[in-house]
């Protein structure tokens, strides 16, 4: 009997495992919440917040309170209608228990109950319960207070009535302690929560969201009567805006469309889109409809007023310096996948297109000065695009004289398989020389850059593409930028920024990240950009020990009772190739930080503050975050 036949005979009915109840969630948590890292941990909070937001969208809730408790648990409380507590006709158990303990059980499937909903899959609260060591739900409804607690998704006791409350006092409070055997971290991050809550409050004008950390005593309240108008103002706060926000709202075929638009003097677009308050980071039909309308309307106005000189403006031209928020609410949204990042409903494109075209046309007719300013901005972008195209061609011609069309400074790897190749962007020739000697030539490429590259936040595209270091970077990575971006042409699975562990190194790292964020954000979104973490110290005591933080140094110093030889590494060039390989480049021992964009809106604001022309917001940002900074002496 062959091995294949033997193996096939072993595969019987007894090998089929049925995961009962919420067991499947614990077995494969990433299927439901994306990951078991910090992102997945906070996804649990988003699931509960979505339930409360759905109540707010239905007009049943105007206050949500989130509290990080001292024991590491978190409470999300709203003043909505409260989860039903009556006995379920099929399961003969309280509806609260069914909602918490069964997947795909919830009120979102009944359209008479929720007109619009972000939580469509009915897995929200049950997934939170399954991945929590302990969860407590308190419901106020019908003049009574009810409570039930759960351990890893299973009820500890039957739902019980705790007492009476005023009949007009309703709502749901959920407290959960995440399971530290599931998650790599169970510490909730105040800034991650506040960024998302701010966004939710902007999208639901009049809703008040309160956030408190009992441990640090931090508190924030988010409440915006101006809604999306205040949202675009906030996004443009660190920029030089060209006009007051343009705003429109339209309801058609049971779809609500809300949009705010404001141009600024920068060279980048920032279009945020939402469906039922869910951030659709990959856009979708609502964004396509909006962008189509914007391009057509601006071209129509330019042609009608004889401002155009023959060549029509492209989408990229009219979106330079654009900040916009597009929010739609729809009864039956079709998302691409459980992650809900792209809207697929075909009918939404035409409805948004028509609504935006009408609103923008009326605004331009009534505000000719602003309209001309927007068209002029787009025409300047057109000139810059044509000049940048020539600059790119010049870069290509220049690089054609290098080996294989690649920059002469690049020490490429021998492998031509993208998935196993990586490129180190290294500061300075000295560190570049060490890195070239230290690397694994099979799959590690080295690109040295000299000094501080151009700050792309302040420079127009012509200057960017003419800058030698940036041109080399674009050519080496291979996937192009802007409208020529093609992920299929990417040459390396990992692009690793490797700079000195000092102030200058941090500045160079920020300049590089600004370039990636503004010109190739998809590389960050798809997890292709990394930061190398070189050691801060070398300790000599019965061999060499490398230390990557001051906290780690304190622990080791106390362990050896003080009299040890400590060397502080000021730069990568101080290490010999063997040390650089062992500490920073060997995949078995190195530390890498993956660069992510948890919140695109917040990232845009932060880059504008740190790298833009306006000095005052930068001073304010540094003052606010000074305590978090690691000062290098």
The CB density around residue 476, as the number of other CB atoms within 10 Å, is 21
Give the β-pairing of 218-223 and 171-178. Answer: unpaired
DSSP of 418-479? GGG-EEEEEESHHHHHHHHHHS-TTTEEEEEE-SPPP-TTTS-HHHHHH-HHHHHHHHHH-S
Options 47, 55, 427, 469, the catalytic residue: 427
Options 500, 582, 599, 604, the catalytic residue: 500
Options 240, 419, 502, 586, the catalytic residue: 502
**CA angle (353, 195, 533) in 5-degree steps:** 115
- Which residues 6+ apart lie within 8 Å of 415 measured at CB? 421, 442, 443
- Residue 113's H or E segment, with its range, is none
Q: What number of residues does the chain have?
A: 633
Q: Which residues pair with 314 in a beta bridge?
A: none
- Pair 534, 498: CB distance under 8 Å: yes
- 3-state class (DSSP) for residue 142: coil
Under DSSP, the state recorded for 53 is H
User: Any catalytic annotation for residue 500?
Assistant: yes
- 3-state class (DSSP) for residue 352: helix
Please tell me the distance from the alpha carbon of residue 523 to that of residue 200, in angstroms, as a whole number. Answer: 27
- Residue 61's H or E segment, with its range, is none
The CB density around residue 122, as the number of other CB atoms within 10 Å, is 17
Under DSSP, the state recorded for 68 is E
Options 282, 316, 468, 504, the catalytic residue: 504
Please tell me the distance from the alpha carbon of residue 514 to that of residue 43, in angstroms, as a whole number. Answer: 27
Under DSSP, the state recorded for 3 is H
**CA angle (330, 331, 337) in 5-degree steps:** 80
List the catalytic residues. 427, 500, 502, 504
């Amino acid at each position: 009997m062959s091995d294949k036949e033997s193996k096939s005979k072993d595969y019987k009915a007894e090998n089929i495992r049925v995961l009962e109840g919420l067991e499947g969630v614990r077995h494969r948590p990433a299927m439901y919440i994306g990951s078991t890292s910090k992102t997945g941990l906070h996804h649990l909070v988003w699931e509960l917040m979505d339930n409360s937001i759905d109540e707010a969208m239905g007009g049943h809730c105007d206050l949500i309170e989130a509290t990080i408790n001292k024991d590491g648990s978190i409470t999300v409380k709203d003043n909505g209608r409260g989860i039903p507590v009556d006995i379920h006709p099929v399961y003969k158990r309280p509806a609260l228990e069914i909602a918490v303990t069964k997947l795909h059980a919830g009120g979102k499937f009944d359209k008479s109950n929720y007109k619009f909903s972000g939580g469509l899959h009915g897995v929200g609260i049950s997934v939170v319960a399954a991945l929590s060591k302990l969860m407590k739900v308190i419901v106020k409804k019908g003049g009574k207070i009810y409570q039930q607690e759960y351990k890893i998704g299973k009820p500890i006791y039957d739902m019980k009535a705790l007492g009476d409350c005023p009949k007009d006092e309703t709502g749901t409070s959920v407290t959960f302690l995440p399971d530290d055997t599931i998650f790599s971290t169970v510490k909730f991050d105040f800034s991650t929560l506040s960024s998302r809550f701010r966004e939710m409050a902007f999208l639901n004008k009049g809703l008040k969201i309160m956030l408190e950390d009992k441990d640090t005593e931090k508190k924030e309240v988010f409440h915006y009567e101006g809604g999306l108008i205040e949202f675009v103002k906030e996004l443009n706060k660190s920029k030089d805006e060209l006009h007051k926000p343009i705003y429109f709202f339209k309801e058609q075929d049971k779809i609500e469309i809300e949009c705010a638009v404001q141009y600024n003097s920068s060279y980048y677009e920032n279009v945020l889109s939402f469906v039922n308050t869910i951030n659709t980071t990959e856009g979708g039909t609502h964004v396509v409809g909006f962008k189509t309308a914007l391009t057509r309307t601006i071209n129509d106005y330019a042609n009608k007023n004889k401002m155009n000189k023959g060549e029509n403006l492209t989408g990229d031209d009219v979106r330079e310096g654009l900040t916009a928020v597009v929010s739609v609410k729809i009864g039956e949204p079709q998302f691409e996948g459980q992650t809900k990042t792209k809207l697929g409903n075909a009918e939404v494109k035409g409805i948004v297109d028509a609504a935006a075209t009408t609103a923008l046309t009326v605004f331009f007719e009534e505000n000719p000065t602003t309209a001309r300013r927007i068209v002029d901005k787009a025409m300047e972008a057109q000139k810059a695009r044509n000049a940048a195209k020539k600059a790119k061609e010049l870069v290509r011609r220049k690089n054609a004289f290098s080996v294989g069309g690649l920059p002469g400074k690049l020490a490429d790897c021998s492998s031509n398989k993208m998935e196993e190749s990586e490129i180190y962007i290294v500061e300075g020739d000295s560190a570049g020389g060490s890195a070239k000697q230290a690397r694994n030539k099979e799959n590690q490429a080295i690109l040295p850059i000299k000094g501080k590259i151009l700050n792309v936040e302040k420079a127009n595209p012509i200057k960017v593409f003419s800058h030698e270091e940036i041109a080399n970077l674009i050519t080496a990575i291979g996937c192009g930028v802007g409208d020529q971006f093609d992920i299929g042409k990417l040459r390396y699975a990992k692009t690793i920024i490797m700079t000195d562990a000092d102030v200058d190194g941090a500045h160079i790292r920020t300049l590089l990240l600004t370039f990636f964020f503004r010109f190739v954000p998809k590389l960050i979104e798809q997890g292709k950009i990394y930061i190398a973490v070189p050691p801060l110290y070398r300790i000599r005591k019965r061999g060499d020990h490398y230390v990557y933080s001051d906290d780690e140094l304190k622990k080791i110093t106390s362990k050896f009772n003080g009299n040890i030889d400590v060397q502080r590494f000021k730069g990568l060039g101080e290490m010999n190739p063997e040390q650089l390989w062992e500490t920073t480049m060997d995949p078995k021992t190195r530390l890498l930080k993956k660069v992510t964009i948890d919140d695109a809106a917040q990232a845009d604001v932060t880059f504008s503050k740190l790298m833009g022309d306006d000095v005052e917001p930068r001073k304010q940002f540094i003052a606010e975050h000074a305590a978090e900074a690691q000062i290098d002496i």
